[in-house]
Amino acid sequence: MSIVAVGALLVIDFVWFGFLPSRKQLELIRKLEARQMGVVDVAETQRGEVAAVRQELEQLAQDMGEMGRHIPKEKSIGTFLTEMSIIMTRHGLTKQMIVPGPETAGDIAIRVPVAVHCEGKLKAIHGFYEDLKGIERLVQIDEILLENDAHLTGHLRMEAQFIIFYQPDPIWEADKRVSVL
């Protein structure tokens, strides 16, 4: 009987002090492994997202470089206003008024609003905008208002709000520069 009791005690000792703690540790290890696999899956997903964002940023930087070639380093507002007047005159637009507004600082360039007023036929106004697309300087058209004359003769009055840009001096640029990559 003493051999059976010692054997039973050894079995109980093995189960109590060996098997049960090992099983609990194994369960804990499996839970930790599952949690780690979840972290790895999230990291893999984020790696793909980071690659996509990086590619988007590179494309944006390339686009900004393209746009930057059409933004002069100096104001040259007089040159732009003269060019606009020449284009308007070429298309027979009359009662021309081109008035630059106050500058505002943007992230990458100084913005200058320009109010434009003229009169003429729709075909002439259309020709003006077609020629405006061909100039070297980047021009953003914010608003266009076309009004027919009171007698509906096809003579239109145009009022528009343009934004032109120029690049600031290098000192201002260095303060505002942000790396995208």
* 164 and 81 in a common domain: yes
* 98 and 29 in a common domain: no
The mean pLDDT value for 3-14 works out to: 66
* 42 and 114 in a common domain: no
> Could you count the other beta carbons within 10 Å of the beta carbon of residue 44?
10
- Give pLDDT tens digits for 92-114: 999 999 999 998 887 778 889 99
Measured distance CA(151)–CA(126) in Å, rounded? 21
Domain that holds residue 128: 77-172
Q: What percent of the chain has pLDDT over 70?
A: 74
Which secondary-structure segment (H or E) carries 169?
Answer: none
> Could you count the other beta carbons within 10 Å of the beta carbon of residue 94?
11
- Give pLDDT tens digits for 35-73: 888 877 877 888 778 788 778 777 766 666 666 666 767
Structural domain contains residue 118: yes
Measured distance CA(178)–CA(181) in Å, rounded? 9
Measured distance CA(131)–CA(83) in Å, rounded? 10
Claim: this prediction has a pTM higher than 0.85: no
What is the domain-level CATH number for residue 126?
Answer: 3.30.70.60
Determine the pLDDT at residue 177.
Answer: 45
**Listed ranges 14-23, 87-96, 164-173; the one with the highest mean pLDDT:** 87-96
- Give pLDDT tens digits for 112-123: 999 999 999 999
Determine the pLDDT at residue 170.
Answer: 55
Measured distance CA(16)–CA(2) in Å, rounded? 20
Contact between residue 166 and residue 109 where contact means Cβ atoms under 8 Å apart: yes
For 4, the 3-state DSSP assignment is helix
Q: What percent of the chain has pLDDT over 90?
A: 28
User: Nearest to residue 92, comparing CAs of 149, 140, 131, 150?
Assistant: 131
Joined tokens for residue 3: 């051999």
